[in-house]
């Protein structure tokens, strides 16, 4: 009997780091998908129907299954398409990849962006506090090509979509070099290596368009 053709659709937004990381995973696994673009701040009826709980992108539709929340989607992709694993087999290493990914999306995004924009205690304090958090990632990537080891994995996708290809562009709009080479040599090496990975490059939002949009929002 012929295998049923898979139908994979991704509802996303071009400058969303949460969407970009899911695309990276689909590309790494070689899963063909249809790209459905949202145009925020408008929300299409399709988004409201598919993700009534959060009303956010990304949303992955796999045949008749609907998934939202990027970490959940990444895990689903990893377990559904077994080639090129993005999470380690070892339970502790897997837990650590999840731990640091949560840290990026919760702590670094909140302090390094939301608090920085408000900068209630002054911009210099906010920058230093953000750098303290980034230092944890500098340690994590030390001595490795990628957080995932020799190849990119879950944490590379989460941190890569969020830090160099999203937050750093907002920091640039504010005139802040948040990850200077002298302070963060390992992270800078990691960013350079990420840029050399074809599927990552394919998922990075175009810089000029991104900066133009990010700067008008700040």
Ligand X SMILES: N[C@@H](CCC(=O)N[C@@H](CS)C(=O)NCC(=O)O)C(=O)O
Q: Shortest distance, CB of residue 73 to ligand X, whole angstroms? A: 7
- Is 103 an interacting residue with respect to ligand X (CB under 6 A)? no
Which residue's Cβ has the minimum distance to ligand X?
56
Closer residue to ligand X, CB minimum distance, 40 or 136: 40
Q: Burial of 4 by CB count in 10 Å (0-12 exposed, 13-18 middle, 19+ buried)?
A: exposed
Give the DSSP H or E segment for 1. none
Nearest to 161 by CA among 188, 122, 200, 192: 200
Query: How would you label 42-70 residue by residue, b for 16+ Cβ within 10 Å and e otherwise?
Result: eeeeebeebbeeeebbbbbbbeeeebbbb
Size of the site for ligand X (CB under 6 A): 11
Hey, how many other C-beta atoms are within 10 angstroms of the C-beta on 145? 15
Dump strand ranges (E) for 17-174. 34-37, 59-62, 65-68
Q: Please identify which residue in 46, 69, 129, 174 interacts with ligand X, judged by CB under 6 A.
A: 69
Contacts of 135 (CB under 8 A, 6+ apart): 184
Binding test (CB under 6 A) with ligand X, winner from 11, 16, 160, 190: 16
Given the complex with ligand X, which of 44 and 142 has the nearer CB atom? 44
Please select the residue that binds ligand X; options are 56, 178, 191, 205, rule is CB under 6 A.
56
Binding to ligand X (CB under 6 A) within 148-167 occurs at: none
Contact (CB, 8 A) for 161 and 21: yes
| Minimum CB distance to ligand X, residue 59 (Å) | 9
- Angstrom CA distances, 189 to 28, 48, 180, 184, stand at 21, 40, 11, 9
- The piece of 65-73, 85-93, 168-176, 207-215 that touches ligand X (CB under 6 A) is 65-73
* Nearest distance, CB of residue 58 and ligand X, angstroms: 6
- Applying CB under 6 A, does 67 fall inside the site for ligand X? no
User: Cis before residue 200, ω within 30 degrees of 0?
Assistant: no
Stretch of 23-31, 54-62, 169-177, 191-199 lying at the interface with ligand X (CB under 6 A):
54-62
Tell the smallest beta-carbon distance from residue 206 to ligand X (Å): 16
Binding of residue 18 to ligand X (CB under 6 A): yes
Q: What residues line the site for ligand X (CB under 6 A)?
A: 13, 16, 18, 40, 55-58, 69-71
């Amino acid at each position: 009997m012929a295998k049923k053709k898979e139908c994979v659709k991704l509802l996303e937004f071009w400058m969303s780091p949460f969407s970009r990381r899911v695309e990276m995973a689909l590309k790494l696994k070689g899963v063909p998908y249809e790209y459905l673009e949202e145009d925020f701040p408008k929300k299409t009826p399709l988004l409201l129907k598919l993700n009534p709980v959060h009303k956010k992108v990304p949303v992955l539709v796999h045949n008749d299954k609907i998934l939202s929340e990027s970490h959940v989607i990444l895990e689903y992709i990893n377990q559904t398409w077994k080639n090129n694993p993005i999470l380690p087999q070892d339970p502790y290493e897997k837990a650590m990849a999840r731990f640091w990914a949560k840290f990026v999306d919760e702590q670094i995004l909140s302090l390094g962006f939301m608090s920085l924009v408000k900068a209630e205690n002054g911009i210099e304090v906010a920058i230093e506090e953000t750098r303290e958090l980034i230092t944890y990632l500098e340690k994590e990537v030390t001595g490795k090509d990628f957080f995932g080891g020799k190849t990119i994995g879950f944490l590379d996708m989460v941190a890569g979509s969020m830090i160099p290809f999203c937050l750093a562009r907002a920091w640039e709009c504010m005139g802040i070099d948040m990850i200077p080479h002298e302070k963060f040599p390992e992270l800078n090496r990691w960013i350079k290596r990420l840029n050399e990975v074809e599927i990552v490059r394919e998922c990075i939002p175009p810089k000029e368009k991104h900066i133009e949009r990010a700067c008008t929002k700040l």
